[in-house]
């Protein structure tokens, strides 16, 4: 019988109530991990937890808003108290919103950075003692917009570019402790991200159809595909990879604006 990648290891996954985070919950549980899950939607988070438990994994789920500093502190403390160790942190939580340099309000810009950057930074900081002890790994979910500019989503692009740079800086600083930090940069993935931003079903369907043209491989991605890359980066198989931002975008980052 093949050994599982995360037997006797613990993983904390944010944004686990939907999309890439939810798929990560199932993937890490399948590979033997003890899984700590968090997300804003309690009902959907419990559905993710149920899927993970069906593999026989030990699961801890705590619903809450990661933009709340007190919640981040409770989450980090709870994971430490419950499991006593942490081998990987997957920062998959995030939001998207429309707006240009002229139309984006200060409040909207701040909300984007709070959700996509500040909470990621602080949670990573809070669990570092546990990650250093296990010589663990951090995997951040960034975006193709971290590497390429796209009009109409300025705050989102800025937040993801910052996540990429945070990934590189943290990787250098934590390398002496044996902690690896990487990011994935997905193109359009079929998740709840755009719907949660207020995009209607008809508009979303048109967006997905258009994305077949803007992604050279002719389709959008799946959360499961992103989760498999995250699983690899968090595992010992990627033990000599750190500070990298890896595209998983159907070739989208290789194209010019169109």
Active site residues: 156
Distance CA 42, CA 106 (A): 29
């Amino acid at each position: 019988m093949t050994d599982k990648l995360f037997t006797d290891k613990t993983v904390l996954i944010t944004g686990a109530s939907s999309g890439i985070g939810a798929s990560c919950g199932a993937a890490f549980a399948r590979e033997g991990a003890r899984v700590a899950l968090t997300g804003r939607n309690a009902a959907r988070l419990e559905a993710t937890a149920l899927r993970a438990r069906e593999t026989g994994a030990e699961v801890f789920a705590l619903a809450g808003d990661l933009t709340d500093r007190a919640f981040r502190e409770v989450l980090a403390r709870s994971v430490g108290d419950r499991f006593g160790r942490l081998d990987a942190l997957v920062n998959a939580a995030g939001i998207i919103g429309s707006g240009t340099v002229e139309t984006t309000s200060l409040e909207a810009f701040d909300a984007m950075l709070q959700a996509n950057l500040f909470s990621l930074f602080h949670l990573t900081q809070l669990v570092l003692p546990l990650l250093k002890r296990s010589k663990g790994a951090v995997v951040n979910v960034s975006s193709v917009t971290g590497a390429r500019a796209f009009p109409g989503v300025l705050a989102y692009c800025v937040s993801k570019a910052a996540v990429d740079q945070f990934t590189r800086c943290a990787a250098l600083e934590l390398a002496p402790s044996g902690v690896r930090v990487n990011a994935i940069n997905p193109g359009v993935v079929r998740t709840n991200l755009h719907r949660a931003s207020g995009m209607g079903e008809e508009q979303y369907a048109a967006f997905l159809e258009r994305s077949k043209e803007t992604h050279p491989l002719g389709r959008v991605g799946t959360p499961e595909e992103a989760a498999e890359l995250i699983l690899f980066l968090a595992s010992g198989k990627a033990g000599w990879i750190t500070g990298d931002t890896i595209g998983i975008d159907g070739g989208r980052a290789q194209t010019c604006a169109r």
